[in-house]
Structure 1
Amino acid sequence: MSGTVHETLLVEELEDRVVVALHRPEARNAISGRMIAELHEVCAELERAPKLLLLTGHGGVFAGGADIAELLQRGRDEALQGINSRLFERVRRLPMPTVAAVDGWALGGGAELAYACDIRIAGPDAVFGNPEPGLGILAGAGACWRLPELVGESVAKQVLLAGRNLDATAALAAGLVIDVVEPEELLGAAHTLLDRMARSSVTALRLTKLVVDAPAAHPVVDDLAQAVLFESQDKNDRMTRFMERRNRA
C-alpha cells in the first residue's frame, strides 16, 4: 500500500498498522473527490488485510472541510450518492480500531471523518466544528447522528445548530478526544495508544468492535462473540501466561 502513488495522501504501512496523512497543503487538506477515492483504496486494503489505522493531517491541519468548489457543483443526484458519507461509514466499519490524531482545523467533512474514527487524540490547537448551515447545507456525512452519540445531544446541537467550535479543551471535556498533547508529541502519543491495542488479541479487538458497533445491542451478540473467543488458542495462551505470571509473583 505504501508503495502506491497517491495524489492527496501520504501512506506509511507498518507491520501492524497503517499511517495515513491527508495531504493537500494548498487547500488545508480539504477533502476532495480524489481524496475520497484514495481513502476508499486504503479502506479496501485494510478490509482485505486488517490492520490498525492512524489517520492524521499534514502540516498542522487535519482537514479544513470538504472541497467547497466541488460541493458547489454537486446537486441532488450527488447528494443521494452519499459521496462523503459512504466513505466515512466505511472507515467506521473497518475491521480493526482506528485513531485520528487531530491538530489544527477539523471542520465540516474533516470533523465528520474524525468522528468516524473509533478514538480521537488532539493537539492543543485542534478545533472541531460543523459550519455547514452557514453554507446552505447540513453536515450530511454523519455528524447529525454520530456527534450526538459521541458528545450527547446538547453539545452536538451547540455545534450543529449554534455554530459552536470545540477547541481541544472543550473536546476533551465533552469526551470527544481521549487526550490533548503537545503538537510534537501528538503522533508519538497516537502510536503509544495503538501500541497498547496491538498487544491485545487481534480477534478479540475485532469482535469487541463489532459488538460495540452493533446497531441493536443484545446479550446473544455478546454470547456468540465470546463463544468464538473462548475456543481460540490465543485465549488459552494468553490466560495461561497470565496464570503463570501470577503464580510466580
Structure 2
Amino acid sequence: MTSIQIDEAEDRVFARIVRPETRNAIDREMVEELHALCASLESEPRVLILSGTDTERNAVFASGADIRELRYRRRDQALSGINSSLFDRIAKLPLPVIAAVDGFALGGGAELAMAADFRIATPRARFGNPETGLGIMAAAGATWRLRELVGIAVATEILLAGRILDAREALALRLITEIHEPEDLLNAASRLADRIVAQDPLAVRITKMVMHMPRSSHPYVDDLAQAVLFEADGKEQRMTAFLNRKGTER
C-alpha cells in the first residue's frame, strides 16, 4: 500500500493515511487500499484505528476527496458511490472503528471520521464539509450521519454555510468523545481499543449490528440477537466468571 501505512496486532489494526503532499486527500488509489483493508477485517475481525499524518507544517487526518480527480468526475462516477460505498463498508465492519483525528478532517475526510464508531481528537482538530463552496454536496454520509451526530441545526450550518468545528465545539456537540494531546492520541486510541477487546467479541459484534438496524426492526431484532448470544459459549463463561469473582454462585 502507498496511501495507507498498516501496523497489525492480534486484536487491532492501525491504519495511518500518508499522502502529506496532498494533505491526505482521498484519491481512487486510497479508496482501493481501504477496500482491501476492509476485506481483511471482514475475514479476520479486529478493531480498526484510523489516523492521519503529522508533518512539520501541520497535522491532517484527511482533507477530503482529491480535487484533481473530483474535478473530472461526472454523473456515472457519482452514481457509483465511490466514497459513499467505502465509508458504508467501514461503518459496517464487524468490530468497532476508532478515528483518531489530529488536524483537519474536511469534506470526505470528515465523512470518513463520521463512519467510525468512535472519534477522538487533539486540540488542533477541525471538522467541516465545505463541498457546497465547490459546487457539489457532501454525498458520502454527512447529510445524514452528521445530522444524527450533532443535530439538524448545527449540521445545516456546516453543510450549507461552511461552518468549521474546532475540537472543543466538536466535543461539546459529542461529535468526538475525548480530546488528547497529539503525542498521546494513538495511545488514547489504544486504551479505548483495550476496553473494547476486553468485552465479549461476539456480543460486541452483534450489538454493533443491531445498533445499525432501522428503528422499525426493533425490538424484534434485539430479541433475535439476544437469543443468539444466550446460546453462545461466551455468555456461560463470562457469567460464571462474574459470579465466581463475586462469590455468589450457587
Q: Into which bin does the TM-score normalised by the smaller protein fall?
A: over 0.9
Partner residue of 2:222? 222
Answer with 104-113 or 232-241: which moved more: 232-241
- Residue 158 of structure 1 and its aligned partner are, at CA, apart by 1.2
Does residue 15 in structure 1 map to residue 10 in structure 2? yes
- The CA RMSD over aligned residues, in Å, is 0.9
Per the TM alignment, residue 80 of structure 1 is displaced from its structure 2 partner at its CA by 0.6
**C-alpha distance in 2, partners of 1:20/1:189?**
15
Distance in 2 separating the partners of 1:32 and 1:233: 43
Q: Does 1:24 align with 2:19?
A: yes
Q: Which amino acid aligns with 1:58?
A: T
**Cα deviation 1:24-61 (Å, max 9, x = unaligned):** 01011110110000000000111111111000102221
What are structure 2's unaligned runs of at least 5 residues?
none
**Equivalent position of 1:121 in the other structure:** 120
Which region of structure 1 is more displaced relative to structure 2, 213-222 or 103-112? Answer: 213-222
Give the whole-Å Cα distance in 2 for the aligned partners of 1:134 and 1:233: 53
Rounded Cα–Cα distance in structure 2 between residues aligned with 1:22 and 1:164:
25
Residue in structure 2 matched with residue 72 of structure 1 by the alignment:
71
Distance 2:232 2:195 in 1: 21
User: 2:48 aligns to what SS in structure 1?
Assistant: strand
* Aligned-residue offset at 1:247: 1.5
Residue aligned with 1:19, SS: strand
Q: Give per-residue Cα distances to partners, 1:63-114, cap 9 Å, x unaligned.
A: 0111000000101111111111110000011111100000100000000000
Q: Which residue of 2 aligns with 1:56?
A: 51
Please give the per-residue CA displacement for 1:173-229, whole angstroms capped at 9, x wherever unaligned.
Answer: 001011111111111001100100000000000000011001234111111111111
User: Is the counterpart of residue 187 in structure 1 residue 182 in structure 2?
Assistant: no
Counterpart of 2:139 in structure 1 is 140
Inter-partner Cα distance in structure 2 for 1:158 and 1:181: 26
Aligned residues: 243
The TM-score, its normalising length taken from structure 1, stands at 0.96
Runs of 4+ residues deviating >3 angstroms:
none
Letter in 2 for 1:158: E
- Determine what percentage of the aligned residue pairs are the same residue: 57
3-state SS, counterpart of residue 178 of structure 2: coil
Provide the C-alpha distance between the structure 2 equivalents of 1:223 and 1:235, rounded to a whole number of angstroms.
15
- Secondary structure of 1:62 counterpart: strand
